Amino acid sequence: MTRPEPLTPAALYRRCDPDQFRFATTEELAESDKIIGQARAMTAVRFGVGMRRKGYNLFALGPSETLRHTIVREYLEGVAAEAPVPPDWCYVHNFADPRRPKALKLPPDRATRLSDAMNALIDELRVALRATFEGEEYRTRRQMIESAFRHQQENSLEAIQEAARAKNIALMRTPAGLIFAPTRDGEVLSPEDFNKLPKEEQDRIKADVEALQKELQDSLQKMPIWEKELREKIRDLNREVTKYAVGHLIGGLRDANRDLPQVTAYLDAVERDIVDNALDFLRSPMPQEGTEQPSSAALSLDSDQPPSFRRYRVNVIVDQSRAKGAPVI
């Protein structure tokens, strides 16, 4: 075997000419953001990250001293910083099927804003609806409806009373209800006096009372129908004033989300539900002034709104309000 030749000192040393550099020490140099010595690996990473399809994965293999995890993460963070911020996600109540809440996909920073706006809307409605239903205009309109119903009842009974008086019969209220009794000279006849009357007159009075009793029964049977009509008219009045108050307050929120059809559809459903359940707002205690609403991003359940109002909350699941670019997980 031929013995190798020993290396000369010149072969073991490569001299670097310091005159080619424009700095005294490396402290004067700006920090480089480029990966040094991993050209092929970085080419593969760039190629793999550029494949925007599901089902493709990258695996960085190598000794730990190559800092493969740090290198790949730093590259991904740089790429992600230039990528669009992903959407917000939130759940809202499904008024058509409460067992199946609806998931809304919203642009970044819109879910929390929607949640806060809904909390504020409900608190405003609790004050506005109470003021509306306690206002003079509403009370006047309701009193007119109720007064018309009472007059209808009174007129019906008064017509029967007039018919009875014409036949010397009185309509009287007793603990057992309304009854008819024969009169003479404006005074009710006692049973003894009635029995002293001629039989023909007794038969006539009995026939008149029977006819009046049937007329009274017909009138009383109409009372439930009139009461139902009264309730319907009051319900229509309540819906009218509620819709006006709700539409006025929710209109601004709807205008702010015109670019999101799914949100405006949700607000339409909220408006319909509030109009149908206005009494919930009247029964609830007034919101405390100065009460700070909890952060909506935390799915809070400890605001001062009654539990029945939880169906109006927007539950934020993903909040990207502080995100810059795409996340690196």
DSSP per-residue letters across 51-104: --STT------S-GGG-HHHHHHHHHHHHHHTSPPPPEEEEE--SS-TTSPEEE
Bigger pLDDT: 300 or 79?
A: 79
**Residue 39 included in any domain:** no
**Residue 306 included in any domain:** yes
- 119 lies in the same domain as 157: no
Residue 108 near residue 323, CB atoms below 8 Å: yes
- 288 lies in the same domain as 173: no
| Nearest alpha carbon to residue 111 among 83, 91, 137, 132 | 91
Count of structural domains within the chain: 2
**Residue 7 included in any domain:** no
The whole-number pLDDT of residue 97 equals: 95
Per-residue tokens: 259: 């670019």
Average pLDDT, the chain: 84
57 Cα distance to chain centroid: 41
pLDDT tens figures, 118-129: 999 999 998 999
- 114 lies in the same domain as 174: no
- 283 lies in the same domain as 172: no
Residue 78 near residue 70, CB atoms below 8 Å: no
Residues in CB range of 164: below 8 A, 6 or more apart:
170, 171, 180, 212
**Residue 4 included in any domain:** no
Residue 183 near residue 189, CB atoms below 8 Å: yes
- 251 lies in the same domain as 219: no
pLDDT tens figures, 213-240: 888 788 877 788 888 889 999 989 988 9
- 314 lies in the same domain as 173: no
- Would the pLDDT of 296 be above 80? no
pLDDT tens figures, 132-178: 888 899 999 999 999 988 888 878 887 887 777 778 777 777 776 77
Q: CA–CA separation, 136 vs 5, rounded Å? A: 114
- Taking the whole predicted model, whether its pTM rises above 0.75 is answered as no
Q: Which of 63-67, 308-312, 316-320 has the highest mean pLDDT?
A: 316-320
Q: Which residue has the tokens 């319900």?
A: 235
- 154 lies in the same domain as 128: no
The whole-number pLDDT of residue 253 equals: 93
- 164 lies in the same domain as 204: yes
Per-residue tokens: 117: 């706006």
Helical ranges in 184-198 per DSSP H: 191-196
- Would the pLDDT of 13 be above 50? yes
- 258 lies in the same domain as 293: yes
Lowest average pLDDT, out of 63-67, 257-261, 269-273, goes to 63-67
The whole-number pLDDT of residue 297 equals: 39
pLDDT tier at 186 (50, 70, 90 boundaries)?
A: confident
Q: CA–CA separation, 321 vs 149, rounded Å? A: 56
pLDDT tier at 196 (50, 70, 90 boundaries)?
A: confident
Domain with 246 in it: 88-136+238-318
Instruction: Give CA separation, 29 vs 16, 21, 26, 39, in Å.
Output: 18, 11, 5, 22
Lowest average pLDDT, out of 18-27, 165-174, 316-325, goes to 165-174
Q: CA–CA separation, 132 vs 125, rounded Å? A: 10
Residue 263 near residue 106, CB atoms below 8 Å: yes
Beta pairing class for 187-188 and 315-318? unpaired
**Residue 80 included in any domain:** no
The angle, 0 to 180 degrees and rounded to 10, between the axes of the packed helices 111-133 and 261-276 is: 30
DSSP state of 259: T
- 244 lies in the same domain as 121: yes
The whole-number pLDDT of residue 294 equals: 45
| Mean of pLDDT values over 63-75 | 84
**Residue 230 included in any domain:** no
- 118 lies in the same domain as 256: yes
